[in-house]
Amino acid sequence: MNEKVREFLEMCKEEEIRRKSETDKVTNEEKNKLLIDLGLYEEVPSPNGKYSKEYPNFIGCDENGTPMYCKYVPVDVTDEEFEKIKKCASTLSSNITEDETESYKNGVATTLTVIAWVTYIVGFIAGLLLCDEVVALGIAEIAATFISGTTFLGFAEIIKLLQAIKNK
């Protein structure tokens, strides 16, 4: 084999090895972050119980009321277990997103919200116009508008919450 070709191939192989080690490092960081985000970690308390960059997480107070800190260390998992965890985590996050968006797809709740805002706007304007003629009547109109609009918004929120419960 030509000397230049051999040197070039060796250089490519070294570069490939370097890239793989960098990729593995990024993968380990992502893996650790995902495990910690999912609550799959152990709390390792600070040796002196104090806050530091290495031990940033508050875990409570000791019997004297002194704050205690820890760091999160992800549990050890095999590559196969981690792939299953990733798959499950993506399924859970997509289900949560769907539930949140479906809870606001209730027509009655949307209608009540629109009615509430129209009540606020029209009632406030009517109250201001009535204040020019009789101040007490204008203030009463604005107060009644606030109560009515808030009641409609309250019912709309209750319906949204019931829809979210139903969707679960």
Res 19 pLDDT > 80: no
The most confident of the ranges 17-26, 87-96, 144-153, 159-168 is: 144-153
Question: How far apart are alpha carbons 159 and 106 in whole angstroms?
Answer: 8
Give tens-digit pLDDT for 25-59: 547 888 888 888 888 899 999 888 788 888 988 88
pLDDT band (50, 70, 90) for residue 93? low
Q: Is residue 91 part of a domain?
A: no
Amino acid at 53: K
Are residues 78 and 114 part of one domain?
A: no
Quote the pTM value: 0.41
Band (98; pLDDT cuts 50, 70, 90): very low
Do residue 67 and residue 118 come from a single domain? no
- Same domain for 51 and 11? yes
Asked if the structure places residue 95 within a domain, the reply is no
Q: Which residue has the tokens 């109560």?
A: 147
Structure tokens at 125: 């304007």
Q: What ranges in 38-106 are assigned the alpha helix state H?
A: 79-102
Counted domains in the chain: 2
Amino acid identity of residue 19, one-letter, is: R
41-45 and 57-61 beta bridge pairing: unpaired
**Assigned domain for 157 exists:** yes
Higher-confidence residue of 25 and 158: namely: 158
Give the range of the structural domain holding residue 17, as residue numbers without chain letter: 3-83
Q: Does 73 map to a domain?
A: yes
Mean pLDDT of all residues in the chain? Answer: 83
The separation between CA 111 and the C-alpha centre of its own chain, rounded to angstroms, equals 28
